[in-house]
Amino acid sequence: MNKDFIIIDKPQLAELVIIIDGYWGSGKSLLFALIDDLRIFEKSIIDETIEHALALNYCGEISDLGLKTIINQRKDLLIFNNQIARCSNIRLSDLTGPRNFYDFFRIIKDSFKKYNSKILSRKIISGKINLPIMIHCSVGSLNKLLELYGEKLYYSHSSRNPIDVFEHTLEYYINLYDNPSMFDILLCKSKDKLSIPWFLKSIEKDIYDLIGNSFEELTLLTIATYTRILIENKKKFDNHKNIKFVDFDKLVSSPELQIFNFNKHFLNKEKFKKIKYKKYNLPRNLNKIRTSREENLMKIKNLSVKKEILNYFLNYVEIYEKEFDLIY
């Protein structure tokens, strides 16, 4: 760009940046839906554009200014479009879809209404309308988000025992690897090794050197390395008033307490719409979860994988359980 020009920091429709993050299959959609049921925000939205912008910045491919510009533009556009039923998710089977049939028909009705951009913008600003945005695997960019937004950032990370996400991650790789519909930023150093997702950019060299052509090994290394990044950030930011790390076991076994803590941590309000937890099969039996986890752990231990990779994974299972107070 001509150096005589600069990108300006234009006024925003919404000052807050509300992010729900987490690993694949970590329970983000459930946390998302429970927060949405409080009816304190606009309908939650998944947005890969912000996720990809964070990934490219994490890899050094776009500047901090470029990242902030994309987040600001996309955040406000999502809120604006949400008001006029543009780009709405109307899949009733999705936790992030319409709340009920009434909501479904309201969205359809709103899509036929005319709107005035100036009037709508004033409504958003005066009403302090915000909406949570879901992204994936971006905890490595948390420090950058804090640098850019400070107290205007509200960030929650849905976290889950590494054992529980093994099958989901393995299935993801098997079904989508080398498939155009694998919508992730991928990295590669050598053609004789499998590509890795962007958040593994900080993987230790000796660990990366273990990667060959086994999806099982790639899955174990992916989960373990992400867990390392997660724990590093949790230790650093766990006491920040606008940042919350939510463990899946605790969310499903004591949802009322976790949502109360979320409200207290983020919003400092006492009264909210009551959530119908039974709709989400909550609370759930922790003993059943642990039994299933033990069975999956035995399957993982019996995999034909390099011993160093298995031990690396098991080490971070132990570290995760200690960090989230899940030692049984």
Mean pLDDT of the residues in the chain: 87
| Rg of the chain in Å (alpha carbons) | 21
What does the alpha-carbon distance between residue 310 and residue 302 come to, in Å, rounded to a whole number? Answer: 10
- Global pTM reads 0.90
Amino acid in the structure at residue 300? I
Position 264 pLDDT exceeds 70: no
- Weakest-pLDDT range from 11-25, 40-54, 82-96, 215-229: 82-96
Q: What is the pLDDT of residue 143?
A: 97
For 28-74, the pLDDT digits (tens) are 888 888 887 777 666 667 789 999 999 999 999 999 999 999 999 99
Q: What percent of the chain has pLDDT over 90?
A: 53
Q: Is-contact 233 138, C-beta < 8 A?
A: no
User: How far is CA 162 from its chain centroid?
Assistant: 15
Q: What residues form DSSP beta bridges with 19?
A: 133, 155
Position 108 pLDDT exceeds 90: no
What does the alpha-carbon distance between residue 282 and residue 254 come to, in Å, rounded to a whole number? Answer: 8
For 185-233, the pLDDT digits (tens) are 888 877 777 889 999 998 988 988 888 889 999 999 999 999 999 999 9
Residue that is written with structure tokens 């231990």 in the block:
301
Residue 84 buriedness (CB in 10 A; 0-12 / 13-18 / 19+):
middle
- Domain 17-323 - what CATH class? alpha beta
Q: What is the pLDDT of residue 101?
A: 63
- Weakest-pLDDT range from 86-90, 146-150, 159-163: 86-90
Q: What is the pLDDT of residue 1?
A: 59
CA proximity to 17, closest of 243, 170, 316, 246: 243
CA proximity to 75, closest of 97, 106, 53: 53
